[in-house]
Amino acid sequence: MKRDILSILDLPDLMEVLDRAVELKSGQTTGRELGGKSLAMIFEKSSTRTRVSFEVAMTQMGGHAIFLSPDDTQLGRGETISDTAMVLGRFVDAIMYRAYRHTDMVELAKHSRVPVINALDDLEHPCQIAADMMTIREHKGRLKGLKLAYVGDGNNVSHSLLLGGAMMGMDVVAGCPDGYRPDAGIVAKAAEVAQGSGSTVDVVSDPFEAVKGADVVYTDTWVSMGDEEQVAQRKRALLPYQVNGELMSAAKSDAIFMHCLPAHRGNEVSDEVMDGKQSVVFDQAENRLHAQKAILLTVING
């Protein structure tokens, strides 16, 4: 049976995926197991890290990646997602999809006979969170029992973090203003997962309360792709949630700062924190490559 990764919850074996990613990063294994395999990559939205890391991952593992944008495929001229899925499945071994709508992600997976990997939609960003968990474990030596604070907009990245952190037994707190809280259904699901792994999930309004005693402080853009018409109101509401030196000092003194990138310096994060010694954002970006190699090997080769 094919294995789709539409949510971080579709990686119940995340710890094994991380172990494999670490082996690939250290050079203990090469991952050159995808000779002759192809990955179609559909991008409805812009990307730097996701596009480059998936393409390099396929190349380094002996396979090939094909970049597809709706503008220059028939998707942009009205071919349906279901027909596209059925056609691509006849050519390639897996499909990576960055979509506006999670419903389109589900539709593509439903009609594709090859595995579909969610490379970000309006609900989740599972590949990012796999790399994030790898990065936290690399810097902290463990995941279970750590406190992870996400501050800012309750968006796709926050959703996968709440779920992924709970899966790994981390205490996850989101500090978000009213109107920008994570989806209530996701929070409820994360709380249920946390209960099973002996941790907690919480959403609070005060960013200092969220960050207090945290081992990891995480933020993301205030204006996700697709939210561009709300720039002014978002900046107003989210300004008190900027991760700056003052907010970081509420966390543990050895806390790390994370951001999925791209960062908007001066908005959700100050230069001082982005460039400071607690920041691990570029390790985090690099780990996209290693974590996605492990995910590709898992879904393509099992």
Residues annotated as part of the active site: 98, 125, 128, 220, 260, 288
Q: Which of 25, 49, 159, 189 contacts ligand CP by CB under 6 A?
A: 49
CA 216 – CA 203 distance, rounded (Å): 16
The reply to whether 176 sits near ligand NVA by the rule CB under 6 A is no
Site track for ligand CP across 190-229, x = CB under 6 A: ----------------------------------------
The reply to whether 159 sits near ligand CP by the rule CB under 6 A is no
**CB closer to ligand NVA, 131 vs 143:** 131
Find the binding residues for ligand NVA in span 249-278 (CB under 6 A). Answer: 260
Place of tokens 């595995």: 115
CB count in 10 Å sphere of residue 96? 31
The reply to whether 161 sits near ligand CP by the rule CB under 6 A is no
The reply to whether 7 sits near ligand CP by the rule CB under 6 A is no
Place of tokens 């005060």: 206
3-state secondary structure at position 92: coil
Residue 224 interacts with which of ligand CP, ligand NVA, none, CB < 5 to 8 Å by class = ligand NVA
Name the CA dihedral angle for 22, 276, 164, 52, rounded to a multiple of 10 degrees.
-60
Q: Which two tokens stand for residue 139?
A: 């810097």
Residue 218: left (phi > 0), alpha (psi -120 to 50), or beta? beta
- Point out which span in 87-95, 135-143, 155-163, 270-278 binds ligand NVA (CB under 6 A): 155-163
Shortest reach from residue 225's CB to ligand CP, in Å: 8
Nearest to 119 by CA among 217, 75, 53, 165: 53
Find the binding residues for ligand NVA in span 8-67 (CB under 6 A). Answer: none
Question: What is the Rg, in whole angstroms, of the alpha carbon atoms belonging to the chain?
Answer: 19
H/E stretch holding 136 = helix 126-140
Residue 48 interacts with which of ligand NVA, ligand CP, none, CB < 5 to 8 Å by class = ligand CP
Footprint of ligand NVA (CB under 6 A) = 120, 155-157, 220-221, 224-225, 260
